[in-house]
Amino acid sequence: MTDAPAIDVRNLVKRFGGRTVVDHVSMQVRTGEIAGFLGPNGSGKTTTIRLMCGLLTPDGGEGRVLGHDIRRDGAAIKREVGYMTQRFSFYEDLTIEENLNFVAGLYGLPPARRAVADTLADLGLTSRKGQLAGALSGGWKQRLALAACIMHRPRLLMLDEPTAGVDPKARREFWDEIHQLAAAGLTVLVSTHYMDEAERCHKINYIAYGKLIASGTVPEMVRDAGLSTIVLEGPAVAEAARLLRGMPGVDQVAAYGNTLHVIGRDGAELARSASQVAGQTETRMHDAAPSLEDVFIQLMGAARDNAA
């Protein structure tokens, strides 16, 4: 990675119909970095990505993407960015190869035939090039979408929930490909709801209700949240969960099979409440490290809904 940021935006604002959906968001992504972009549905992730892609004009704020001004140089940014949307957006009655030929024509790639052939080979699609796009599984549709995004050799990939509805094996293969691309110097910004995917990013950014409220590596995010986690185990965890909700020090209660994760910011109060309920329900109790999911649930609960 170099020290020059691929993305450097400050105080981005976007309003629709009087509602502020992106509220003074500032973000930096270093060249060659895989940056995760997380947040609940409706939090402003997609709008922020479109502002940085040059697809939307901000109502406030400024910044540069790949050295280009986001207000003045939208066309230049689009030429150097690969943007993968949430929904499959190719012609389903055309083959994989025909779809890629169409994309190559849009970018004016010379020679288009060679660019398509190289892209098919790079992503293992050559043997399937004659298949109709509409007949592909979710994983292969995802691979086609990624192929179209990287065919023009962009310097930055922006991926908006690219693995939604894809099976775990295809998700893992997709992320292996992303890491290979990043190792070759490509910068990636990816929005996701999956915690295992967030943990595969070099850095993560958490947005809620239009505001960027946390940013850092996974260990930094977990450390800065200041949470404690206690696990209760035994056949009576459902009763333990009922008793624990609302007790002093208890911010979250989450069941996982025959275990119960109890999370809070006040470790001493949390331990007292958990110990009391463990005794009442004859469950075993031990400390555990907070998870990234615990952190995000806590952040979401503390955020204010801008639509309320």
Specify the CATH number for the domain of residue 244: 3.30.70.600
Quick one: pLDDT at residue 55?
92
Quick one: pLDDT at residue 89?
79
Single-letter amino acid, residue 156: L
Residue 179's domain comprises 5-221
Is residue 189 pLDDT above 80, yes or no?
Answer: yes
The percentage of the chain sitting over the pLDDT mark of 90, rounded to a whole number, equals 73
Give a yes or no: residue 181 inside a domain: yes
Quick one: pLDDT at residue 217?
95
d(CA 79, CA 65): 12
pTM score: 0.87
Give a yes or no: residue 294 inside a domain: no
Region of poorest pLDDT, from 27-36, 61-70, 142-151: 142-151
CA 300 to chain centre: 15
Same domain flag for 202 and 91: yes
- pLDDT per position as a tens digit, 72-111: 999 999 999 999 987 777 889 999 999 999 999 988 888 8
Give a yes or no: residue 281 inside a domain: yes
Quick one: pLDDT at residue 304?
61
Quick one: pLDDT at residue 252?
95
Whether residue 145 contacts residue 71, with contact meaning beta carbons closer than 8 Å, is answered with no
Give a yes or no: residue 174 inside a domain: yes
Same domain flag for 69 and 179: yes
Number of domains in the chain: 2
Same domain flag for 163 and 268: no
Same domain flag for 195 and 249: no
d(CA 120, CA 70): 32
The average confidence (pLDDT) of the chain is 91
Q: Which residue has the tokens 């973000």?
A: 27
Quick one: pLDDT at residue 233?
96
Is residue 306 pLDDT above 70, yes or no?
Answer: no
Q: Which tokens in the block code for residue 199? A: 């943990």
Same domain flag for 161 and 43: yes
Same domain flag for 45 and 175: yes
Same domain flag for 112 and 65: yes
Same domain flag for 260 and 201: no
Last residue in a domain, options 183, 201, 221: 221
CA 66 to chain centre: 20
Range 263-286 average pLDDT: 96
Region of poorest pLDDT, from 65-74, 83-92, 128-137, 235-244: 83-92
Same domain flag for 186 and 259: no
